[in-house]
């Protein structure tokens, strides 16, 4: 029986590139990029080929292999796996790039910031401190070739080939035999007399000075060049001079060098180093410290390197949410870092966390998710939105906190394009109907009307026909004047979704009633809308062939492009209402719990819709004035920045408070003439108690249906009243005749 020896290199679970990477370390080791066969994750593989006659060098390589295997420190190159045969040595580490190649690539891309260099040098000095103070080891090879950079921009100390014990056991330092490395040796090593008094760290600190010089000035041509600091920052120069001093006795211990550089005003005293140090110890920090750290982190992320944010900050944020109960405070930095990710990475790392956050009962978490939805909505697919996001979001419509109800309404602008038929046309409309009819906050009722007008084009044709006219008609009866304005503008924004018959019989009668509204802003918008609808009707009357083109969107399927001619009104209305709601909530603190987060600076990105508002459809007859041109003028004429507050029904308004009719809500400048409709303001002077609303049910049926129901109810009541009257008359007549005697016969 024959037995075949297995090839250990072929069975090695890592695959390396055929050619070594450019810029590898000098000496016998060749650096190859590689990957793990099972997962495809990237690694770096250092390869040493055993050559005959190089036994001493082979022993040095094997010693380095052993050192790297046993030394574990965050700032030392991380060992993953290894292979040792008679022909070669393979050392697998985390994926890294030689520092020289990294600096060259970053210089071509604009150069490294001082923040990055300060943290990189901090890591190397910390690694040296660990070796000399904790392990009593001398690295003996600190130089550019011994430093590597991982994908997060973290500097790692490698090159352990010539390491030896500071305690003298195991022999002295091994011979290098490589001129490129020997140029970094300190001058006292050339003194064969051995009279120079030095500390165990003196030689490595000299080499650290050479490394600092090369980082800022490039390759070191000769040792005398160290006398000129060159481009080394001024805050680092005094400490650098200590490193390259001729007297080895005064060179500082690595720990003291770090302490000196971390002093106030020092080179390593900055926000970036502090952030990294906190992240390294985050597991042992108190919850209050973590909360404060994450709150302040967002301000600093813009100045931090992108790779650092992606590969170091992001994992810590995800861990803090999953296991640290960090809560809503991680959302802002999380979404900020998410901007650096590709679509695939975002789907893999951020979206699962977002989906889990939506199921949270933490109000602060929910409102921050709603406020920042525009940052991640494009990464959510429709099944995820309909099955995992929307069912949790709709709970916000029923929340007792007005700020959450408002943000929930506003979030529908982003979610509506991704909702399915049932969620959009049934579930959402049910909640909108209740908010518009029953919510005690006028601005929220107004925002609901605004949102409905903006998402109207996404609704199905049957839902549009059943909902829009009734909803906007209801808004025109709202005691809150901006809601009535929003109702008028809602008709304008969705003008192309109504048939000519509905315009004449349903919409114009409602608008005409608003021409005597006590608020001038309502009257102005009503007259404007009436003129536009009449112009449309007149255009079709003059040229009936235009009817099919004008009504082309009435029965069309839902489309995000419909109704774009007047969509710019939504941006005007929403911006103002957001401010209104915030001021209203502040004016009535009892209506909002203490933990609420007010939406005071929200921006409803309506730029794309506003740009579409200028795309006016052309009619068939080019000589006739297009009725659509009247809708292109529905721009924001003003804002509600001055705010509005509903007076407390139990208390009179404070002295000096202006009535709502005295504000300029975006219309023309107020004139000095008296308001001819001032006598009608009695309707508003009754306070803000909401009058009985015939639209108070939770469905939006047609106006005719409501009228028929009212008439039927009146007829039923009359019949019931007539029946009771007849019964009363019979009882009265019977009582007047008295009881009948036994055996007598009733005579008619």
| pLDDT for residue 622 | 35
Is residue 513's pLDDT more than 90? Answer: yes
Please check whether residues 182 and 35 belong to one and the same domain: no
Please check whether residues 91 and 114 belong to one and the same domain: no
| Cα 394 to Cα 377: distance, rounded to the nearest angstrom | 16
Please check whether residues 179 and 156 belong to one and the same domain: yes
Is 694 inside a domain boundary?
Answer: no
Please check whether residues 156 and 34 belong to one and the same domain: no
Is 476 inside a domain boundary?
Answer: no
For residues 516 and 507, is the Cβ–Cβ distance under 8 A? Answer: no
Q: Model confidence at 739, in pLDDT bands (50, 70, 90)?
A: low
| Cα 132 to Cα 166: distance, rounded to the nearest angstrom | 8
662's CB contacts (< 8 A; 6+ apart) are 670
Please state the domain count of the chain: 2
Please check whether residues 134 and 240 belong to one and the same domain: yes
Residue for token digits 């090879």?
Answer: 141
| pLDDT for residue 170 | 62
Instruction: Give the model confidence (pLDDT) of 34-75 as tens digits.
Output: 998 888 899 999 999 888 888 888 888 888 899 899 999 999
- The tokens for 355 are 């989906």
Among residues 80, 97, 114, which one ends one of the domains?
Answer: 97
Is 29 inside a domain boundary?
Answer: yes
Please tell me the least confidently modeled range out of 36-50, 589-603, 677-691: 589-603
Instruction: Give the model confidence (pLDDT) of 527-571 as tens digits.
Output: 999 999 999 999 999 998 989 888 888 888 765 544 443 334 434
| Cα 66 to Cα 612: distance, rounded to the nearest angstrom | 67
Calculate mean pLDDT across residues 11-38: 80
100's CB contacts (< 8 A; 6+ apart) are 23, 144, 145
| Upper half-sphere CA count for residue 258 (Cβ side, 13 Å) | 16
Please check whether residues 43 and 187 belong to one and the same domain: no
Is residue 420's pLDDT more than 90? Answer: yes
Is 613 inside a domain boundary?
Answer: no
Please tell me the least confidently modeled range out of 86-90, 193-197, 419-423: 193-197
- In eight-state DSSP terms, residue 626 is P
- The tokens for 733 are 């007549």
Is residue 743's pLDDT more than 80? Answer: no
Is residue 692's pLDDT more than 80? Answer: no
Please check whether residues 77 and 125 belong to one and the same domain: no
What 3-state class would DSSP assign to 532?
helix
Cα-atom radius of gyration of the chain, to the nearest Å? Answer: 39
| pLDDT for residue 618 | 33
Calculate mean pLDDT across residues 258-284: 91
Instruction: Give the model confidence (pLDDT) of 314-365 as tens digits.
Output: 988 888 887 766 677 888 899 899 888 888 889 888 999 888 888 888 888 8
Is 601 inside a domain boundary?
Answer: no
**Best CA proximity match to 475, nearest among 371, 577, 627, 575:** 577
Polymer length in residues for the chain: 748
Please check whether residues 88 and 223 belong to one and the same domain: no
Calculate mean pLDDT across residues 458-468: 91
9-to-5, 17, 54, 158, 472 alpha-carbon distances in Å: 12, 13, 22, 24, 76
| Cα 541 to Cα 526: distance, rounded to the nearest angstrom | 22
Please check whether residues 258 and 215 belong to one and the same domain: yes
**Best CA proximity match to 161, nearest among 94, 220, 89:** 89
Is residue 630's pLDDT more than 90? Answer: no
Please state whether the predicted TM-score (pTM) of the whole model is above 0.75: no
Is residue 697's pLDDT more than 50? Answer: no
Is residue 160's pLDDT more than 50? Answer: yes
Of the ranges 9-18, 150-159, 643-652, the best mean pLDDT one: 150-159
| pLDDT for residue 239 | 94
| Cα 207 to Cα 454: distance, rounded to the nearest angstrom | 67
| pLDDT for residue 626 | 40
Please check whether residues 110 and 72 belong to one and the same domain: no
| Cα 158 to Cα 506: distance, rounded to the nearest angstrom | 80
Is residue 468's pLDDT more than 90? Answer: yes
Of the ranges 1-15, 114-128, 197-211, 582-596, the best mean pLDDT one: 114-128
- The CATH number for 26's domain is 3.30.200.20
What 3-state class would DSSP assign to 492?
helix
Q: Model confidence at 187, in pLDDT bands (50, 70, 90)?
A: confident
- The tokens for 459 are 């609704």
Among residues 227, 253, 271, which one ends one of the domains?
Answer: 271
Domain extent for 155? 98-271
Calculate mean pLDDT across residues 214-235: 91
Among residues 67, 97, 127, which one ends one of the domains?
Answer: 97
Please tell me the least confidently modeled range out of 6-15, 353-362, 648-657: 648-657
Please tell me the least confidently modeled range out of 18-22, 307-311, 433-437, 666-670: 666-670
Is 438 inside a domain boundary?
Answer: no
**Cα dihedral 431→433→439→442 (10° resolution):** 120
For residues 254 and 244, is the Cβ–Cβ distance under 8 A? Answer: no
Torsion-angle region of 16 (φ positive above 0: left; ψ -120 to 50: alpha; else: beta)? beta
534's CB contacts (< 8 A; 6+ apart) are 508
Please check whether residues 39 and 176 belong to one and the same domain: no
- The CATH number for 107's domain is 1.10.510.10
Is 231 inside a domain boundary?
Answer: yes
Is 596 inside a domain boundary?
Answer: no
Calculate mean pLDDT across residues 686-695: 40
Calculate mean pLDDT across residues 141-156: 92
Instruction: Give the model confidence (pLDDT) of 479-498 as tens digits.
Output: 999 999 999 999 999 998 99
| pLDDT for residue 669 | 42
Please check whether residues 116 and 234 belong to one and the same domain: yes
Is residue 748's pLDDT more than 80? Answer: no
Average pLDDT, the chain: 77
| pLDDT for residue 560 | 53
Instruction: Give the model confidence (pLDDT) of 559-579 as tens digits.
Output: 554 444 333 443 434 444 444
| pLDDT for residue 742 | 53
Is residue 386's pLDDT more than 90? Answer: yes
Please tell me the least confidently modeled range out of 143-157, 359-373, 502-516, 566-580: 566-580
| Cα 133 to Cα 254: distance, rounded to the nearest angstrom | 9
């Amino acid at each position: 029986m024959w037995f075949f020896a297995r090839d250990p290199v072929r069975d090695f679970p890592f695959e390396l590139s055929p050619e070594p990477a450019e810029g590898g370390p000098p000496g016998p080791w060749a650096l190859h990029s590689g990957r793990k066969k099972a997962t495809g994750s990237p690694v770096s593989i250092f390869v040493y080929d055993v050559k005959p006659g190089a036994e001493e060098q082979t022993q040095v390589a094997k010693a380095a292999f052993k050192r790297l295997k046993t030394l574990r420190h965050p700032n030392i190159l991380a060992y993953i796996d290894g292979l040792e045969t008679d022909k070669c040595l393979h050392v697998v580490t985390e994926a890294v790039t030689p520092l020289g190649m990294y600096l060259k690539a970053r210089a071509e891309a604009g150069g490294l910031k001082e923040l990055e260099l300060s943290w990189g040098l901090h890591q190397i000095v910390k690694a040296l401190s660990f070796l000399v103070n904790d392990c009593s080891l001398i690295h003996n090879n600190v130089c550019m070739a011994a430093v590597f950079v991982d994908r997060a921009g973290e500097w790692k100390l490698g090159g352990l080939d010539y390491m030896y014990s500071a305690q003298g056991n195991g022999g002295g330092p091994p011979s290098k035999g490589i001129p490129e490395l020997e140029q970094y040796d300190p001058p006292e090593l050339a003194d064969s007399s051995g009279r120079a008094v030095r500390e165990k760290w003196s030689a490595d600190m000299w080499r650290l000075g050479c490394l600092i010089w090369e980082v800022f000035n490039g390759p070191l041509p000769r040792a005398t060049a160290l006398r000129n600091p060159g481009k080394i920052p001024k805050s680092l120069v005094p400490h650098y001079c200590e490193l390259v001093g001729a007297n080895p006795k005064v060179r500082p211990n690595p720990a003291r060098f770090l302490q000196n550089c971390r002093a106030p005003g020092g080179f390593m005293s900055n926000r970036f180093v502090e952030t990294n140090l906190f992240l390294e110890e985050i597991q042992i920090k108190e919850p209050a410290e973590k909360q404060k750290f994450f709150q302040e982190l967002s301000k600093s992320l813009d100045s931090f390197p992108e790779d650092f944010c992606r590969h170091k900050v992001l994992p810590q944020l995800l861990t803090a949410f999953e296991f640290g109960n960090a809560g809503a405070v991680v959302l802002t930095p999380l979404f900020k870092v998410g901007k650096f990710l590709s679509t695939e990475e975002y789907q893999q790392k951020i979206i699962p966390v977002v989906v889990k956050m939506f199921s949270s009962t933490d109000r602060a978490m929910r409102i921050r998710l709603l406020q920042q939805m525009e940052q991640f909505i494009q990464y959510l697919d429709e099944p995820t939105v309909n099955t995992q996001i929307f069912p949790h979001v709709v709970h916000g419509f029923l929340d007792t906190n007005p700020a959450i109800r408002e943000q929930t309404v506003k979030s529908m602008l982003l979610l509506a394009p991704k909702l399915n038929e049932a969620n959009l046309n049934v579930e959402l409309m049910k909640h909108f109907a209740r908010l518009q009819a029953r919510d005690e906050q006028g601005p929220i009722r107004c925002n609901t009307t605004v949102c409905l007008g903006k998402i109207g084009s996404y609704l199905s044709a049957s839902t549009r026909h059943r909902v829009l006219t009734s909803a906007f008609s209801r808004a025109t009866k709202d005691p809150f004047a901006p809601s009535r304005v929003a109702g008028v503008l809602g008709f304008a924004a969705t003008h192309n979704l109504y048939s000519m018959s509905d315009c004449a019989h349903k919409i114009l009668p409602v608008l005409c009633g608003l021409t005597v509204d006590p608020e001038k802003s309502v009257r102005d918008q009503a007259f404007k809308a009436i003129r536009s609808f009449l112009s449309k009707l007149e255009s079709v009357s003059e040229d009936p062939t235009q009817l099919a083109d004008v009504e082309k969107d009435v029965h069309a399927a839902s489309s995000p492009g419909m109704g774009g001619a007047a969509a710019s009104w939504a941006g005007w209305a929403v911006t103002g209402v957001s401010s209104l709601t915030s001021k209203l909530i502040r004016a009535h603190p009892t209506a909002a719990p203490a933990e609420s987060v007010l939406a005071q600076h929200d921006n409803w990105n309506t730029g794309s819709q506003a740009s579409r508002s200028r795309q006016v459809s052309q009619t068939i007859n080019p000589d006739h004035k297009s009725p659509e041109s009247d809708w292109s003028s529905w721009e924001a004429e003003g804002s509600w920045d001055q705010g509005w507050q509903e007076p407390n029904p139990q208390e009179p308004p404070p002295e000096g408070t202006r009535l709502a009719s005295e504000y300029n809500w975006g219309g023309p400048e107020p004139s000095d003439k008296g308001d001819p409709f001032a006598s009608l303001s009695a309707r508003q002077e009754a306070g803000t108690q909401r009058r009985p609303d015939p639209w108070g049910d939770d469905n939006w049926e047609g106006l005719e249906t409501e009228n028929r129901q009212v008439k039927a109810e009146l007829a039923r009541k009359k019949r019931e009243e007539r029946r009771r009257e007849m019964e009363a008359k019979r009882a009265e007549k019977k009582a007047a005749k008295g009881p009948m005697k036994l055996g007598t016969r009733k005579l008619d």
